[in-house]
C-alpha cells in the first residue's frame, strides 16, 4: 500500500532543514578557519540524516531511534576523521565529505523518484 506523500510528518524534517538554512544565512556568524572543516562535515552529516529520514518516511520505514542514532554516529565519526586528519596532517575529512555527498545525492534521487 502506497503512503500518501502529504500525510504524516514527511515535511517536518525538510521544513526544519530549510528553516535552519534560512536562519543561518540571515545571521552574520563567521566560523574561524580552524573549525571550517568541522563545520562542513557537521553540516553534511546533518543534511544526510535529514534526507535519510525523509526517504525513510516516504518508504514507510522511519524510526526515530534509527534517525537519532544515525545522526549522532555520523556526526561523531565525521568529527573524529577530521580531528585525526588534522593531527596527522592528512586530509581525512575528504573521506567524510565524499561519503556524505554520495549518500545525499542518492537519497535526493530516491526522494525525487517518489514524487514523480
**What is the chain's pLDDT, residue by residue, as a tens digit (116 residues)?**
445 444 556 567 678 778 888 888 888 778 888 888 898 898 898 889 888 988 998 888 988 898 889 889 988 988 898 999 999 999 888 988 999 999 999 999 999 998 88
**pLDDT value at residue 98:** 92
Domain assignment of residue 64, yes or no = yes
Domain assignment of residue 37, yes or no = yes
Residues near 100 by beta carbon (within 8 Å), at least 6 away in sequence: 41, 44, 45, 47, 48, 74, 78
Domain assignment of residue 3, yes or no = no
**pLDDT value at residue 115:** 84
**pLDDT value at residue 9:** 60
Whole domain around residue 77: which residue ranges?
A: 11-115
Domain assignment of residue 73, yes or no = yes
* Domains of the chain: total: 1
Domain assignment of residue 15, yes or no = yes
Domain assignment of residue 33, yes or no = yes
**pLDDT value at residue 106:** 95
Whole-prediction pTM value?
A: 0.73
**pLDDT value at residue 10:** 58
Residue 45 CA: distances (Å) to CA of 5, 34, 53, 88: 25, 19, 12, 22
Domain assignment of residue 2, yes or no = no
**pLDDT value at residue 27:** 86
Amino acid at each position: 500500500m502506497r503512503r500518501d506523500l502529504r500525510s504524516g510528518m514527511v515535511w517536518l524534517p525538510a521544513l526544519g532543514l530549510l528553516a535552519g538554512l534560512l536562519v543561518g544565512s540571515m545571521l552574520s556568524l563567521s566560523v574561524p578557519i580552524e573549525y571550517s572543516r568541522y563545520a562542513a562535515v557537521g553540516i553534511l552529516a546533518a543534511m544526510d540524516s535529514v534526507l535519510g529520514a525523509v526517504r525513510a518516511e516516504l518508504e514507510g520505514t522511519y524510526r526515530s531511534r534509527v534517525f537519532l542514532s544515525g545522526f549522532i554516529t555520523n556526526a561523531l565519526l565525521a568529527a573524529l576523521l577530521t580531528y585525526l586528519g588534522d593531527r596527522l596532517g592528512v586530509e581525512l575529512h575528504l573521506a567524510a565529505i565524499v561519503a556524505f555527498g554520495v549518500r545525499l545525492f542518492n537519497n535526493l534521487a530516491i526522494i525525487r523518484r517518489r514524487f514523480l
